[in-house]
Amino acid sequence: METMTHGRVYAVVDRGEVKSVVYFDNQSKRSKQIDLADHHGMSPHTHVGYLHNEGSPNGKPMRLSTDERKMVDRVLSDWEQYKQGKT
């Protein structure tokens, strides 16, 4: 996945619900993805790297950092406001 905008964060929406939050680096390549669905007993969870888990110490998804949790909360709040027509 690549984008024309450096350092962007996108929310992926499927069937009216946010499925993931995707971060892109300064080379416009995906750097990590936060999936909101359960995987390896974690929900939400972070996949690090362009191919999905190459940046993870054990090759598996990781728990969210404090900053990632804040981003997910913000995305979900903004999405709910959008759906209610408040943006």
- pTM for the model: 0.83
The reply to whether omega before 44 is within 30° of 0 (cis) is yes
pLDDT tens digits, 57-85: 777 788 899 999 999 999 999 999 999 98
**DSSP 8-state class, residue 34:** E
**Cα 3 from Cα 12, distance rounded (Å):** 14
CB atoms within 10 A of CB 8: 12
Between CA 60 and CA 5, with CA 45 as vertex, the angle to 5 degrees is: 100
pLDDT higher than 60, residue 31: yes
